[in-house]
Structure 1
């Protein structure tokens, strides 16, 4: 009798979790996004190097429009590839576990993520317009971290810790001009890979 009650409680708890939290996030999407980010950071470094710019000297510089365009296109490619990988692995996990993807929880999650990300994107565009190149990498880390912390209540709580790490990296590199690309690679690359592996082992 006690075993039946325990099983029923576990079943109810699982159903409540599925209805209130988006649990279709796949750890593999984090791993792939991290790899894509590392490749993007490497490509960005070579673009700087080919232009004869020393990103790591820590001095504010005005870069030529051609190089800025290359970096912008690279950023779009990295973003689309990472988001695409996330959607693919999330859909695959949802279908495998028989879970619905588009629910009210999904909408709340996207809203929680979207507001800080859109604000951060506009901030970075304004920084680019004003030639404040040196703060763009730190800003992406901070705003992305804020988005993760904000969205944690609608999905796995583990992403909150990832968000705190992203914010911390962004704040630290604000005081270390010239190391933005390196910290960006650590935040979006290495941390995503570690987070993805932990999530995959824990939930999949």
Structure 2
């Protein structure tokens, strides 16, 4: 039994090393919760700027000042979310005595970035033509595609989250007047639920050890 157990342990270690080299499994669930909260705050501010008070419908006209404020809001949310994810994820990696920058990390970020950058450029083209109703669908659909594309290099939950984001984006395209509502669900509530699941499924056990 001992030689057999020894071989099994070696196989387990080899499998673990191969998995660590090809996949990044240390994404922070808490960062997902915080990103969702940031999104809810951002959506509340955006509602005040672009919606008719007490309605789910966009204003018919936006001043350059409002557009500038919206772009600034989006930039701030993006930077704060990115910093939060990197900070909490690197902290988790250090606690596990692992390396943050690995082949798995590079593949994850590359596969995540390609759809995101493409979607960002695509959305800016429509914004330059003053077609604002596509913003929410584009954000959700391309973000979902990015998650699906990157899922093979991290946790499987990311794949299903991506499919859900794509579905919300398609609904937002069908119901353009409710774009912010779907944005709140996709970037706010879904992130909070995802982060909570990830924390209790993968991080709480480690934290209690």
TM-score range, shorter chain: over 0.9
* TM-score (structure 2 length as normaliser): 0.90
| Structure-1 residue corresponding to 2:79 | 80
Q: Name stretches of at least 5 consecutive residues in structure 1 with no aligned partner.
A: none
Structure 1 residue matching 2:143: 3-state secondary structure: helix
**Post-superposition shift, 1:103?**
1.6
Aligned length: 201
Alignment of 1:1-204 (within 5 A): 1=2, 2-48=4-50, 56-57=56-57, 61-204=60-203
- Counterpart contact for 1:62–1:131, Cα < 8 Å: no
What do the CA deviations read for 1:20-46 (whole angstroms, capped 9, x no partner)?
101121111111100100110011112
**Post-superposition shift, 1:115?**
0.7
What do the CA deviations read for 1:133-185 (whole angstroms, capped 9, x no partner)?
01111100000000000001111121000000000000011111211001001
Q: Name stretches of at least 5 consecutive residues in structure 2 with no aligned partner.
A: 204-209
- Counterpart contact for 1:173–1:180, Cα < 8 Å: yes
| Structure-1 residue corresponding to 2:207 | none
What do the CA deviations read for 1:60-113 (whole angstroms, capped 9, x no partner)?
x33111111111101111111111110011100110001111122222111101
Q: Is the deviation greater in 95-104 or in 140-149?
A: 95-104
CA RMSD across the alignment: 1.7
> What is the alpha-carbon distance in structure 1 between the residues aligned to residue 50 and residue 62 of structure 2?
9
> What is the alpha-carbon distance in structure 1 between the residues aligned to residue 198 and residue 10 of structure 2?
26
Structure 2 residue matching 1:185: 3-state secondary structure: helix
Q: 1:151 to 1:55 in 2, by over 3 A?
A: farther
Q: Is the deviation greater in 67-76 or in 13-22?
A: 13-22
> What is the alpha-carbon distance in structure 2 between the residues aligned to residue 73 and residue 56 of structure 1?
22
- Counterpart contact for 1:138–1:170, Cα < 8 Å: yes
> What is the alpha-carbon distance in structure 2 between the residues aligned to residue 190 and residue 6 of structure 1?
42
**Post-superposition shift, 1:3?**
3.8
* TM-score (structure 1 length as normaliser): 0.92
> What is the alpha-carbon distance in structure 1 between the residues aligned to residue 135 and residue 30 of structure 2?
27
